[in-house]
Structure 1
Amino acid sequence: MLILQMSGNKLVVLHKHFTNCEGKHERWRNALTQAADLCGEDLKNADNGHEAKCIKKILGEVNKQLYRKYQLDIEHLVGITSRLNDVVRMIDILGMGGIGKATLAKTIYNKFERIFEGRSFLADVREVFANHRSNGLVGLQEQLLNDILKSKGIEVGSVDEGVDMIRRRLCCKRALVIIDDADDLEQLKAIARARDWFGPGSRIVITTRNKHLLEQVRVDSTYMAQEMDEEEALELFSRHAFESGYPNQEYLDLSKRVIRYCQGLPLALRVVGSFLIKRSIAEWESHLEKLQRNSDGDIQKILRISFDRLPDLTTRKIFLDISCFFIGMDGDCVTQILDGCGFSATIGISVLIERCLVTVSERKELMMHDLLRDMGKEIIFENAHGHPEKFSRLWKREDVTYVMTDESVSTFQIQF
């Protein structure tokens, strides 16, 4: 219970009467008697009897009291940082686009948010930042503050002001913060630069496609999001294609073909399943044939983000080379080949691995998800407008034969 008293132009918050009073009736009775004798402000005399304005005024005074620039005096912070890391933990969910990172983060939020004093889910941070830059960061800071402090009126004037407000006002709050789809250090510095911005027991969960970002902020643990196994994939697909946990019997074989195409990628399973719902077997067959030739556009849009965000043209070229020629080859051998072409492949391949576009098998072979491979080839196809003689890379036997034997194609047209 909270009692407020206006004294002059000051608001006195009287709550200490009720500290540790549970089960002690006499102390409760005395506290209530004292509260009844307090002189409060009559609503009729405040703001012409306007109740909403009076409440807003009270909340404003409380807000000012909470925002006092006061910190306890502590000397010689020896060994404190390592101990603070034990109580405020930063956890990462890493994986390629469409693997289900955001879904996992939402599940964590729904399951555990009740045990935290404050909680906030900051969705699509990368997109917000890309569209609005600093204004987007200010908006995210405002959302974080309002969510955790359970308010609606907190406004931030600048990123630096937001940093100061977060650090001062959330440092005693045990909070659950989800930062979804971060891809830039500037984003994290504005929202969760240090663990001491939040109270003991807080959990900061970051989802990203960029492993190097996590090394910069030094997260405590990383969970590598995994592709679905066949049973999980079939159930997820069926939820979207049949609105049940298992496919109709006459569609079972077709459903398994879809599962093989999607390679355990939740995004692909949802997109294809939603498209095929309530369609005939003939339409399923037709769509599957189309997918074998060209990947679904909605899936490619999500996957393409990772390619477009690569830091330079050379790294993009290395990705395209691997998608066309080097999947399953020894990594050291591929590095030597690409270095011979002047590509600085050691750092380039490292970046692709950090961005979850390429993986390395136990036998040190470069591997890539089938849909990422298809995306790379589709990029080459689009850039050449479908004309093989303009392809930057030729990987199909028939295209190579056509370019090398067709007399209408002069050698200078071939763009390598």
Structure 2
Amino acid sequence: MSILLFKRKMYESKFIKKIVKVIGDKLRRTPLSVDPNIIGMNYRAENINLWLQHGSTDPDILVIYGISGIGKTTIAKFVYNSNYTRFEGSSFIENIKEISRQPNGLVQIQSQLLSEILIGRKVKIHSVSKGITAIEDALWSRRVLIVLDDVDHMDQLEAVLGLEYRFCPGSKIIITTKRAKLLKAHQVTMVHAIETLDPKESLELLSWHAFGQDHPLEDYIEYSEKLVDHCGGLPLALKVLGSSLLGEMIDVWKSALNKLEDIPNGEIISKLRVSYDSLQDDDDRKLFLHIACFLIGKDKDYIVKILDGCDLYTIVGIQNLIDRCLVTIDKFDKVQMHDLIRGMGREIVRLESKDPWKGSRVWRHMDSFKILVENNVRNMCYM
């Protein structure tokens, strides 16, 4: 009897240690910091939460897709915080595009993933190929939740997931990206395209940042609604502009709105411009600027006919712009662009020169009229 009792106590001891380890691992994992003023997040995240909680037997990959500043990282953090304790291990790797450009950036990403999944245990990695093997060894038997934020190239995915994506059944991988081509990546099982906020949600988000409450002050309603219209439902713009006007008088709001009609906010432009700067060549950049200045809302075939005549490779170029969320094609086959993306393109042209006639493009009627008048005067002087 004493031997049986001894074995039983040994079994109970091991069982208790296992429970303590599982609880300890969960306690050592902490939630991510998320903006407390998240508008409309519960219903926007509903389908992703259902997908995360679905007991599938295969590893699943979901892609969260949308333009810069629309809230891809925010929604990824929100669903991660709501679900990471359901998994045996979890990792959220932010700004992958930026990290991957650093020396040994992909190895750095692999090291972070392993450290988080293994709860702080250090694994030395000397190359990307060895890192892929180490990740496979660590994850084949663990149900994990992994978020890869701001991915813009397949080699970044392959450095973490490998070519075969050997993960434990029930594991979930979320990818956020501005690149449409990644939606076709191997084994992607679901795509979540984020929509802009509606006017009511936009006004609430702006109000939290400009007034510290969910609605504007009575005297500021008119200007708040105009600012909401300018932002076009883009959370980034609503946060930046709302915060910049916090505590300001009405005359400052009015002046700021007048300025935005001619000169977009620099902080917003710099974040939106990342997609433009990532275009492969000058041909695609010229195409984007032509559309931003002159051709929004025009039929795709019409644009191809016009710009192919300007020695641009328009069909493949438009596809490259779609890939980076710079343009869309609507159901009527017309090329469309978010107002703030258009403003970013026109600001690039405006900054080429202080004098409109020295820039590469002129789209405002008053500038065109001024150039024609001055040219006529100049020609008369030489007669």
TM-score class, shorter-chain normalisation, is: 0.7 to 0.9
In the aligned structure 2, how far is the partner of 1:275 from the partner of 1:360? 33
- How far is 1:244 from its partner? 1.3
Confirm whether residue 100 of structure 1 aligns to residue 71 of structure 2. Answer: yes
State the match for 1:171 in structure 2.
Answer: 140
Letter in 2 for 1:366: V
State the match for 1:111 in structure 2.
Answer: 82
In the aligned structure 1, how far is the partner of 2:10 from the partner of 2:142? 33
Report the TM-score, using the length of structure 2 for normalisation.
Answer: 0.83
In the aligned structure 2, how far is the partner of 1:326 from the partner of 1:114? 49
Letter in 2 for 1:342: D
Letter in 2 for 1:30: K
- How far is 1:108 from its partner? 1.1
Confirm whether residue 392 of structure 1 aligns to residue 360 of structure 2. Answer: yes
- How far is 1:148 from its partner? 0.9
- How far is 1:154 from its partner? 2.1
- How far is 1:409 from its partner? 9.4
Would the alpha carbon gap of residues 398 and 203 (structure 1) be closer, same or farther in structure 2, given more than 3 Å must change? Answer: same
In the aligned structure 2, how far is the partner of 1:345 from the partner of 1:143? 41
State the match for 1:66 in structure 2.
Answer: none
Name the % identity: 39
1:154-207, Cα deviation, whole Å (9 max, x unpaired): 221221111110011111111111110011111111012346432111111111
In the aligned structure 2, how far is the partner of 1:276 from the partner of 1:29? 71
In the aligned structure 1, how far is the partner of 2:163 from the partner of 2:304? 37
Confirm whether residue 373 of structure 1 aligns to residue 319 of structure 2. Answer: no
Letter in 1 for 2:250: I
State the match for 1:22 in structure 2.
Answer: none
Would the alpha carbon gap of residues 410 and 360 (structure 1) be closer, same or farther in structure 2, given more than 3 Å must change? Answer: farther
- How far is 1:33 from its partner? 6.2
In the aligned structure 2, how far is the partner of 1:400 from the partner of 1:202? 59
- How far is 1:98 from its partner? 0.5
Letter in 2 for 1:122: I
State the match for 2:238 in structure 1.
Answer: 269
Letter in 2 for 1:332: D
Task: State whether residues 168 and 197 of structure 1, in contact with CA within 8 Å, keep that contact through their aligned partners in structure 2.
Answer: no
Would the alpha carbon gap of residues 187 and 113 (structure 1) be closer, same or farther in structure 2, given more than 3 Å must change? Answer: same
1:81-130, Cα deviation, whole Å (9 max, x unpaired): xxxx9611111011110011111111110111111111100000011112
RMSD: 2.2
- How far is 1:302 from its partner? 0.5
In the aligned structure 2, how far is the partner of 1:326 from the partner of 1:407? 26
Give the paired residue count: 336
Which stretches of structure 1, 4 residues or more, deviate above 6 A after TM superposition? 33-36, 408-411
Would the alpha carbon gap of residues 33 and 285 (structure 1) be closer, same or farther in structure 2, given more than 3 Å must change? Answer: closer
Letter in 2 for 1:32: K
Give the alignment of 1:275-354 within 5 angstroms. 275-354=244-323
Larger RCO of the pair (alpha carbons < 8 Å, separation 6+) = 2
- Whose Rg is larger? 1
In the aligned structure 1, how far is the partner of 2:375 from the partner of 2:342? 31
In the aligned structure 2, how far is the partner of 1:236 from the partner of 1:306? 25
For the residue of structure 1 that corresponds to 2:113, the secondary structure is: helix
Letter in 1 for 2:9: L
In the aligned structure 1, how far is the partner of 2:263 from the partner of 2:271? 15
State the match for 2:23 in structure 1.
Answer: none
Report the TM-score, using the length of structure 1 for normalisation.
Answer: 0.77
For the residue of structure 1 that corresponds to 2:195, the secondary structure is: coil
For the residue of structure 1 that corresponds to 2:287, the secondary structure is: helix
Q: Which runs of 5+ in 1 are unaligned?
A: 1-25, 37-84, 412-416
